[in-house]
């Protein structure tokens, strides 16, 4: 099976089940035009995040890693009118693009992009006694994933859902001796999911326009 086949199948599935509207199209166009890395979730992955948030009945969503706000639009669209999404982004110019994309999608009233290292923003949320989030999407710098998980556990409640992107990385995740900080962070993240009796977790391999990768899903059970 080749990348070309994965692309063809993703194109088929997306055209059938995940038609783009003007706000999504414009967001991807502006992300591309601004030269941001081409690492937004794929359309069918964005829709998966949207469906998970809906199934979860999420009223409060936390995203770690905004980029241009493409995944943020999918998650934000799952919120009720009085819902709230906070997305954390280190790069101020990416955050500006994301805010414009969210405004064009009609989500400015319920979404907020906070600029700065996510660990700082998370510490602030915890210090401020933020209400628990119903869903946390972890998709920033992978070496920090173990820390993001620990902070996410302080910002959630029993029943919350934690989703992690990019946990397979072309299969590199099985390399126990890897010195790549992203692989080490991902492996520690998965180990923490496994070890924590307060979490019920799984992980799935995915193929498609984003290559061969995967998602981790964890429900806070206590």
Helices 118-127 + 145-154 axis angle, to 10: 20
39 binds ligand DHB (CB under 6 A): yes
How far is Cα of residue 49 from the mean position of the Cα atoms in its chain? 8
Which of the stretches 8-16, 137-145, 155-163, 184-192 binds ligand SAH when contact is defined by CB under 6 A? Answer: 137-145
Q: Using CA atoms, how far apart are residues 192 and 201, in angstroms rounded to an integer? A: 10
Give the nearest residue (CB) to Mg ion.
Answer: 165
165 binds Mg ion (CB under 5 A): yes
- Give the residue with the Cβ less far from ligand DHB, 91 or 132: 91
Going from the C-alpha of 218 to that of each of 11, 74, 138, 190, 203, the distances in angstroms are: 29, 20, 11, 10, 9
* Token couple for 47: 């829709």
- Give the residue with the Cβ less far from ligand DHB, 111 or 166: 166
Q: Using CA atoms, how far apart are residues 108 and 112, in angstroms rounded to an integer? A: 7
- Give the residue with the Cβ less far from ligand DHB, 116 or 143: 143
> Which residues sit at the interface with ligand DHB, rule CB under 6 A?
39, 139, 165-166
> Which residues sit at the interface with ligand SAH, rule CB under 6 A?
39-41, 65-67, 70-71, 88-91, 94, 117-118, 139-141, 144
């Amino acid at each position: 099976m080749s990348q070309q086949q994965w692309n063809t199948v993703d194109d088929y599935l997306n055209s059938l089940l995940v038609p783009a509207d003007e706000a999504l199209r414009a967001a991807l166009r502006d992300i591309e035009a601004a030269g941001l890395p081409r690492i937004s979730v794929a359309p069918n992955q964005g829709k998966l995040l949207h469906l998970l948030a809906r199934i979860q009945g999420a009223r409060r969503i936390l995203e770690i890693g905004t980029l241009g706000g493409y995944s943020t639009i999918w998650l934000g669209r799952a919120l009720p009118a009085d819902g709230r999404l906070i997305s954390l982004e280190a790069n101020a110019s990416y955050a500006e693009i994301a805010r414009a994309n969210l405004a064009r999608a009609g989500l400015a009233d319920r979404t907020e992009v906070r600029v700065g290292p996510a660990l700082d923003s998370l510490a602030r949320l915890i210090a401020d006694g933020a209400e628990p989030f119903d869903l946390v999407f972890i998709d920033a710098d992978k070496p920090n994933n173990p820390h993001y998980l620990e902070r996410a556990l302080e910002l959630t409640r029993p029943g919350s859902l934690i989703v992690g992107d990019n946990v397979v990385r072309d299969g590199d995740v099985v390399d126990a001796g890897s010195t790549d900080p992203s692989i080490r962070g991902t492996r520690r993240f998965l180990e923490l999911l496994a070890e924590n009796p307060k979490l019920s977790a799984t992980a799935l391999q995915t193929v498609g326009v984003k290559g061969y990768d995967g998602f981790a899903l964890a429900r806070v059970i206590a």
